[in-house]
Structure formats: structure tokens, C-alpha cells
Structure 1
Amino acid sequence: MLCGEFEDYAHLGRSRYIANHACVFMARGLTANWKQPLGFVFSSGTVKDVSLKQLILIAIIELEQIGLCVKAVICDPGSNNRPSQNP
């Protein structure tokens, strides 16, 4: 748990709420054995589905801009992640 850190959604902005959760974005190779953290955001509670969907799209765009081909997006099975998985 972080103390004194505010909610921060990177490109989507900050708020005055104290953060108590972190969401990490990672990339992983499918045929090669590598994985790399891309970034993280801090939130007060779980990341809202609209924000999560936007952050996933930003991550995909950034990966494609450096020449990687995104084949899949995987989230943990938490109920707050389900709406972000719909197109």
C-alpha cells in the first residue's frame, strides 16, 4: 500500500484521491521467453472499466508503434476487468 501518493492514470490525468491500488501493464513474447513491464497507474480502488479500456488501447498503440504485433490481451479474472474486455 502506498502512502501519500495520489491517484494517477498517466495520460488520462491525476486526481486528489489517495491511491491504494496499482495496475501494472506488461508485454510478453509468445514464441520467445521474455517479458517487460510497460508501465503502471495508481488508483483509489480498482481502475474504472472506461479508464482501463483506454489504458489498454494506449499500451497496444505504443507497442505497435515500436514494431511489436499484439496478438492477445490478458487480464486477471476480476469482475472489474470484464467490461474492459468487450470491444
Structure 2
Amino acid sequence: MTGEKVKLLEYWASPFVLRVHWALKPKGIEYDYQEEHLPNKSPLLLQYNPVHEKILVLIHNGKPIAESLFILEYIEETWKHNPILREDPYE
């Protein structure tokens, strides 16, 4: 992951944030996180999610991904080592 920048814009009370943390940790992905406050969203959040202004955005090398399920899919496709899901659902 040399040279890659990963940042998570999050809100501590969101259960959806935990999904993303649990996906990043076993893959050994280093990331920074920024705690957001619901009434006072940061300029960074408004820049990377201007339409919905929802909290939980993963920023990878300047490209934003919002919504926890999309983020999980992105993590799985981008960092293939230590897969979260098995290829065969019956394993």
C-alpha cells in the first residue's frame, strides 16, 4: 500500500462505520479517519459527498466512495489479499 492515501470520514455512533473498520483492519490497510459532527459537517465531507452530505465516505487517493456496502465492495476489489468474503458462498 505504499504511497496510497486512505481516509475515512465517519461518525462514531454509526454502526455502518464499524463494517468498514472491520474490513480494513484484517487487510492491514493503514488509514486516517476524521470524526464528523452531524450538525457541523466539515468542508471535506461536503466536497466529497456534496449531493447527499451523508457521513461515511472512504477517500482513496483523492477518489470518494460513499455508502458502507459500496465501500466494502470497493475494499474487496481493490485489496484482494485477506478476502472478507469467500468466492464460494457454500464454503
TM-score surpassing 0.5?
Answer: no
Structure 1 or 2: more strand by fraction? 1
What is the TM-score normalised by the length of structure 2?
Answer: 0.29
| Higher relative contact order, chain-length normalized (CA < 8 Å, sep 6+) | 2
What is the TM-score normalised by the length of structure 1?
Answer: 0.30
